[in-house]
Structure 1
């Protein structure tokens, strides 16, 4: 009597024939592309805000802002000139947040336009031929 493991081993030794399939991509769903592009650009917007905060934190902790303040005071001759007054953490994060929101809106619109252009061009050309294989 053979065990289940021996039967499975014999089954896996057989050669599996690979089958090739050729498909045409003739349509991309508009709302799927819009949702996906909005999600991708929202993630990139979060990355932008976090990166701006981290860069400001690193620059502030290393004393680069103090060095730039000293250089500005020497060049301008004004003892009240300060970079940190104009580029505080709040202003930097708010500016990067506004840019991130604009990127999400523009990226979503560009994704929608890309889906529309793809669907229109596929009506003319007949579709994109894609080959798949079963390994």
Structure 2
């Protein structure tokens, strides 16, 4: 996970407070935003763990989680679903538009089901996987 040198976040246990993090000398200095307290020092690996386990939620410049560009349910365990799809399916023409759509939706719904809609997302993933299977069967003459 690549973290910016400076960012703000909310600690789930202290939801009303915003914290600032600043990378310095191989560690992150963290303190409550706007306070005069001395910052606490955290190893980068600890910061990453807190974010991945959703104890800390990164926020954008407006003070809210960036649900458009970086929703937490698509960014977990060092995996960015959009980045994964772009990396593994980069060539236009390698897949049809329908195949790409079905693959992307299958991965999307499976990767987020625990954080978002549970069984409903798994059923959506199964639907799109079924559509992809139908395409492959039609290529080999099965119905």
Q: Which has the larger radius of gyration?
A: 1
Normalising by structure 2, we get a TM-score of 0.24
Indicate the structure whose relative CO is greater, using CA pairs within 8 Å and at least 6 residues apart: 1
Specify which structure has the higher proportion of helix: 1
Specify which structure has the higher proportion of strand: 2
